[in-house]
Amino acid sequence: MTETPQAPLNPDDLAALREASTATITTQLFKHGLRNTFLAGLACVTSGTPRMVGEAFTLRYIPAREDVDTLDVYDDYDHPQRAAIEQVGPGQVLVMDCRGQGRAASAGNILLTRLSVRGAAGLITDGTLRDIGEIERLPLPVYAGGSSAMTNLALHHAVDLQVPIGCAGVAVYPGDVLVGDTDGVVCIPRHLVAVIAQQARDQERLETFITERVAAGAPLRGTYPADAETLRAYEESRFTSSLHD
């Protein structure tokens, strides 16, 4: 069966998501009935990198077996792990399903360097990585569950590319959008990207106004959540601001 190509993502939506926190995005997804969208337990490995926003390119691992997963499998340049690195396109995030198994690394610095050079938007694994000291300096947003020096072949067998996976307990489908910040990573179903982007932008603007009021001494009652009076003041501030633009 031939799959219908996914429509390109709107750059304006991606820009809006780049300005929204994962906290805001998870709140908006919660309003749409989606409660399990945050990839808990992962932390950003690379410091000083930009916010991560990109569409998912998935790689699935199963447990390794000693008679199959030997070092010479990497002589095959079509090995699924290597193939994934070479197929991830600009603006995509490589998402690895490692079953939460961290005793062996899912990748290392050379592979992530190649990802970075290819223009990938980031890498996410619910397993671990090795060469962390080198990876920390890459200009690539990288999220992982920790570090391990052991080669991935000890516990991981790469089997599938671009299939639905589970990562850190969250379902991730190829083409979904991943957003990462200092809190972690959230997965947005592709069909909701446009509406979540707009709602997240609106929430960020309102909460900036609320934060300024609280910092100026306003009590939580009537301010957070905003009552009718606070919302009216917010709309007036937006109108006044627009007159000066």
Annotated ligand binding at 111? The verdict is yes
Residue type at 78? D
| CA torsion angle 145 147 149 154 (round to 10) | -10
Torsion of CA 206, 207, 211, 212, to 10 degrees: -30
Q: How far is CA 100 from CA 39, 106, 133, in A?
A: 11, 10, 22
Was 132 annotated as part of a binding site?
no
Annotated binding-site residue? 109: yes
Pairing relationship of beta strands 122-125 and 92-97 according to DSSP bridges? parallel
Question: Using CA atoms, how far apart are residues 16 and 12, in angstroms rounded to an integer?
Answer: 6
**Alpha helical stretches, state H, the chain:** 11-18, 22-31, 80-87, 109-117, 132-135, 193-215, 228-243
108 is in an annotated binding site: yes
Residue whose token pair is 């002589």: 75
User: Residue 200 forms beta bridges with which residues?
Assistant: none
Task: Please give the Cα distance from 35 to 28 (Å, whole number).
Answer: 10
The answer to the question of whether 166 is labelled as a binding residue is no
Please give the C-alpha separations between residue 213 and each of 10, 24, 69, 222, in angstroms, as whole numbers: 33, 19, 59, 11
DSSP 71: G
Does the annotation place 89 within a ligand binding site? no
Asked if the peptide bond before residue 189 counts as cis, ω within 30 degrees of 0, the response is: no
Instruction: Please give the annotated binding residues, written as ranges.
Output: 108-111, 130-131
Please give the annotated binding residues for Mg(2+), written as ranges.
131
Binding-site entries for substrate:
108-111, 130
